[in-house]
Amino acid sequence: MIVFESIRWKNFLSYGNYWTELKLDRSEMTLICGENGAGKTTFLDALTFCLFGKPFRNINIPQLANSINTKDCVVECVFKIGGVKYFIRRGLAPKLFEIHKDDKMIDQDSKSKDYQKMLEEHIIKMSYKAFCQVVILGSTNYVPFMRLPAADRRAIVESLLDISVFSSMNTVLKDRLSINKEDIRTCETSMEILDSKKNTQRKYLDALEEKSRSSLEGIDEEIKKNELVRDSLSDVVVKGGNILSNISKNRDLKRKKEQSISDLKRILSTLENKLNTMDMELSVLMTTEEVPCPSCGQSLTDEHRNKEIETKKTKREEVRVALLDVEKRISVEEKFIVDNKLTNVEQDYERFQSVLNEHRQKLAVAEKMIDRLLSDADKIKKSQQNLQKEQDLLDELENKCEDAKKHFNEKQEEQKLLSSAQSILKDSGIKTRVIKHYLPIMNK
């Protein structure tokens, strides 16, 4: 309960540069009376100005200072609350605002609004509207309680019952609800984005894995096919090489036989020429009567010519025998070529070598293909490291989704708590219970 002891002022409205003081504690009730314009309402303006920094009537604050002096406008008020004495001093031109508690000034805040808020909430415990509606009743601008706007009626009742804290809590709660709803919407958007990213990453990873798996399967199949071809060609090339080696031996043998036949034919030709020459010489010796000696040039005697003819015939027979022997050897060599099927060995060698070279080229192509496929398989296996990176990215997105879902659930739980608190702090909640409890007392 506030017990006012005194109030005084100077240079306030029509009052000059002298103190006007009213003692309010001489008796339990003080009556102030006077003619119109005597200053009765000025007392109310001075009291409200001293406590709240604005007058009771609708007067601009700069107009409160005396219009003649226009400075040193000061109002001082002394009152007690629960045995604690307070002294308030407020002024204009210059501005002045002091609060003393038991003759000791309370430290002023950097902002006068905070200093005023401390006075209203912690000392007077009443707002300006409640003070003017309950404590001060003036006919000048008094409005009955029921004619006040709902907000003003609420403020007055809350101030009287000291339940304005619930309105303040409700205001803070509304801000928290708004922030929480925005956080929930943000969480939902974040969850949708993360889910979309996670699904996209999952599809991308599945596509990479499928591509890698199908590629490796296809490469393995191609490698197996080419290995079969390679093994088959390797056998063919090995066997063909052996066959070609045998053909090469036969070709060399044929060439050796042909060279031998050629040499024998040259001998045969020489022997034939020699035999022809000997036949001519015998013909000359046998048909001509006088034949000169090839050594001395004299004519041969019959005895000597016969002897020379016998000698020539003997040599001719030897040449003929040698000629027959060479022909026989030639026939043997040719028969050897025919019997051993060496006639077309050159064509067989060339044809078989061509086929073998073709198979060797195919074998080389198959081996190169296998090497290329193995290289591609190695590249794909190395690229699977990128699959692990993509899997790590997917795991990270899944963890973020879990965190976002957890945060979303926390915000929803907080929303439930805030909604419960809102139902308690709204007008139909705890304030209604308090008012219903005290309303009969107020009416009485």
Cβ within 8 Å of residue 284, ≥6 positions away: 291
Q: Are 356 and 248 in contact (CB under 8 A)?
A: no
Q: Which two tokens stand for residue 193?
A: 């984005």
Q: pLDDT category, 86, cuts 50, 70, 90? A: very high
Whether residue 297 is predicted with pLDDT greater than 80 in this model: the reply is no
Q: pLDDT category, 377, cuts 50, 70, 90? A: confident
Q: Are 81 and 123 in contact (CB under 8 A)?
A: yes
Whether residue 342 is predicted with pLDDT greater than 80 in this model: the reply is no
Listed residue (289, 272, 283, 274) closest to 309, CA to CA: 283
Q: Residue 315 has what pLDDT?
A: 86
DSSP string, 241-262: HHHHHHHHHHHHHHHHHHHHHH
Q: Residue 107 has what pLDDT?
A: 85
**Between 378 and 235, the higher pLDDT residue:** 235
Q: Are 390 and 212 in contact (CB under 8 A)?
A: no
* β-strand pairing of 96-101 with 20-23: unpaired
pTM of the model: 0.44
Q: Residue 85 has what pLDDT?
A: 93
The per-residue pLDDT for range 24-79, each reduced to its tens digit, is 888 888 888 878 777 788 888 999 999 999 998 888 888 989 888 888 999 999 99
The most confident of 14-28, 218-232, 309-323, 415-429, by mean pLDDT: 14-28
What value does the mean pLDDT take over residues 411-430?
Answer: 84
The per-residue pLDDT for range 268-278, each reduced to its tens digit, is 888 888 888 88
What value does the mean pLDDT take over residues 246-255?
Answer: 80
CA distance 22 to 35: 17
Listed residue (215, 136, 226) closest to 382, CA to CA: 215
Whether residue 87 is predicted with pLDDT greater than 90 in this model: the reply is yes
The per-residue pLDDT for range 148-178, each reduced to its tens digit, is 777 777 777 766 666 777 777 888 888 888 8
Q: In percent, how much of the chain has pLDDT > 70?
A: 89
Q: Residue 29 has what pLDDT?
A: 83
**Between 351 and 293, the higher pLDDT residue:** 351
Q: Residue 11 has what pLDDT?
A: 93
Q: Residue 77 has what pLDDT?
A: 95
Q: Which two tokens stand for residue 262?
A: 């050629």
For the range 371-375, what are the long-range contacts, defined as Cβ-Cβ under 8 Å and sequence gap of 24 or more?
Answer: 373/219, 373/222, 373/223, 373/226, 374/223
Whether residue 303 is predicted with pLDDT greater than 90 in this model: the reply is no
What value does the mean pLDDT take over residues 193-201?
Answer: 86
Whether residue 139 is predicted with pLDDT greater than 70 in this model: the reply is no
Domain annotation for the chain: domains and CATH numbers:
2-125 (3.40.50.300), 189-405 (1.10.287.510)
Q: Residue 296 has what pLDDT?
A: 56
Whether residue 335 is predicted with pLDDT greater than 70 in this model: the reply is yes
User: What's the alpha-carbon Rg for the chain, to the nearest Å?
Assistant: 69
CA distance 201 to 391: 9
**Between 6 and 232, the higher pLDDT residue:** 6
3-state secondary structure of 89: strand
What value does the mean pLDDT take over residues 173-194?
Answer: 88
Q: pLDDT category, 294, cuts 50, 70, 90? A: low
Sheet holding 20-23, edge to edge: 20-23, 2-10, 73-81, 84-92, 96-101, 104-105
Whether residue 415 is predicted with pLDDT greater than 70 in this model: the reply is yes
Q: pLDDT category, 10, cuts 50, 70, 90? A: very high
User: What is the pLDDT of the chain when averaged over all its residues?
Assistant: 82
Whether residue 223 is predicted with pLDDT greater than 70 in this model: the reply is yes
**Between 91 and 197, the higher pLDDT residue:** 91
Whether residue 230 is predicted with pLDDT greater than 70 in this model: the reply is yes
Phi, psi of 310 (to 5 degrees): -60, -40
CA distance 7 to 74: 11
Cβ within 8 Å of residue 109, ≥6 positions away: 115, 118
Q: Residue 51 has what pLDDT?
A: 93
